[in-house]
Structure formats: C-alpha cells, structure tokens
Amino acid sequence: MVILLVIIHVVVCLFLIGVVLLQQGKSADLAGAFGGQGSQTAFGPRGAANLLTKLTTYSAIVFMLTSIGLTILLSRAGGDHSVLSGTAHPTHQTTPAKK
C-alpha cells in the first residue's frame, strides 16, 4: 500500500510541476516586461478558470491527500519513533571526582 501511494505521489508531483510551468503569468505580455499593466486590472482579470487552472487545483488536492496518507501510513508502520527510543542505557548519576 505504501509503495502504491509513493508511486501515485511522485507521478502527481511531476504532473503538478509540469502544469504549473505551462501556465502563463499574469503579466506575460510585452507591457508587463516594462512595468505596465496593459489591459489588466490591479490583480489581473478573474475570468472563468481554464483547463490548466482546474488541473492545477485537482492535482494539488491529490498531492496534499497523498502526503497526509503517507504520513499516517508511515507513522503507523514505524512503531515507536522517539528521540530517546534508541537509548537502551539506564540513566545513572556519577559523582564528581574529588580533588
């Protein structure tokens, strides 16, 4: 189960990177290169979400769910993982040397 979830997580991660890199920025026109806003408003026009925006949203949701699922599965499978779980030495107090 963990291996399947890791494979899905890596595929979604690579897909998310690709979809984000394919999107056009808000000021990607020539006027944006010189500081002008062109025909855009202060925060850019907010029209209907296109296919890339929807794919980004859905892949981000799947990425977060697989991250949470992996965290839960690995915490249950690992058992007791404490910082002090590897120390098998009993604590004993030493007295300082007399001078």
pLDDT in tens, the chain (99 residues): 889 999 999 999 999 999 999 887 765 555 555 655 555 555 555 555 688 889 999 999 999 999 999 999 988 877 666 666 666 665 666 777 777
- In a domain? residue 4: yes
Per the confidence metrics, is the pTM higher than 0.85?
A: no
- In a domain? residue 66: yes
Q: What is residue 96's predicted lDDT score, i.e. its pLDDT? A: 76
- In a domain? residue 30: no
Domain around 67: 1-20+51-74
CB 40 within 8 A of CB 28: no
The two structure tokens encoding residue 72: 């839960």
Residues 6+ apart with CB under 8 A from 81: 75
Total domains present in the chain: 1
CB 72 within 8 A of CB 4: no
